[in-house]
Amino acid sequence: EVQLVESGGGLVQPGGSLRLSCAASGFTFSSYWMSWVRQAPGKGLEWVANIKQDGSEKYYVDSVKGRFTISRDNAKNSLYLQMNSLRAEDTAVYYCAREYIVATTDAFDIWGQGTMVTVSS
Amino acid sequence: SSELTQDPAVSVALGQTVRITCQGDSLRSYYASWYQQKPGQAPVLVIYGKNNRPSGIPDRFSGSSSGNTASLTITGAQAEDEADYYCNSRDSSGNHHVVFGGGTKLTVL
């Protein structure tokens, strides 16, 4: 079964750090771009960051640039998001998602169940 | 960066046809993909590319595109189709950024 399972969420104080993990199974992890997408309570989806198959390219939404770092370990079939200098506005459910890219299509075809990150004092 | 605009809310009578739209400059270069999200659940891809449905998605869901506007059409809406729907595409700025629309809440009456 193709599956993504996130972990590492929790309550953290403003300015603190958290590392999210995403374990992939059921597919060749090293063949896909991977992304983190978040959803603040009651709000819409927001793409956060993505990483190329070999980790050589990484992209971030402007609001997290310089604070968040996406990485992957293909030997462990795992995706990570290191979040530093956390702010209240980073409070959200964070989803790990597989990117399906063909020509002019860039879709997220597999999603994890999400992990909640709450930034509050 | 690009933006994608969706109507916040749309309603449809049970069994009728509804179209949900998504507008943005990036759609002149990239196809939109569409996601269904029910409360407390992760999003599910329903349409991608020109008009492709993943396995398990009913054929009442279809997609189309013209100029800077993409549309998701549900033909014969069912009660279980009541959900939030989001579009997304690659950002048109030339990098590998991705952008989502703000979402449309679909109510089936």
Would you state the pLDDT for residue B95?
A: 84
Instruction: Give the β-pairing of A115-119 and A10-12.
Output: parallel
Low-confidence ranges of chain A (pLDDT < 70): none
Would you state the pLDDT for residue B1?
A: 57
In 3D, which of B49, B39, B59 has the Cα closest to residue B87? Answer: B49
Q: Which residues from chain B sit within 8 angstroms of residue A45, using beta carbons?
A: 35, 37, 43, 86, 88, 100, 103
- Got the DSSP string for A36-64? EEEE-TTS-EEEEEEE-TTSS-EEE-GGG
Would you state the pLDDT for residue A90?
A: 98
In 3D, which of A65, A13, A47 has the Cα closest to residue B3? Answer: A47
Would you state the pLDDT for residue B92?
A: 84
The closest CB to that of A44, out of B49, B95, B103, belongs to: B103
For residues A62 and A106, the answer to whether their CB atoms sit within 8 Å is no
d(CA B68, CA B82): 26
pLDDT in tens, A10-29: 999 999 999 999 999 999 99
The letter for the amino acid at B7 is D
The closest CB to that of B48, out of A46, A107, A113, belongs to: A107
| Contact between B98 and A104 using a beta-carbon 8 Å cutoff | no
Would you state the pLDDT for residue B94?
A: 73
d(CA B64, CA B68): 11
Question: What tens-digit pLDDT sequence spans chain B (109 residues)?
Answer: 569 999 999 999 999 999 999 999 999 999 999 999 999 999 999 999 999 999 999 999 999 999 999 999 999 999 999 999 999 999 988 789 999 999 999 999 9
| Contact between A108 and B35 using a beta-carbon 8 Å cutoff | yes
d(CA B87, CA B101): 5
For residues A49 and A20, the answer to whether their CB atoms sit within 8 Å is no
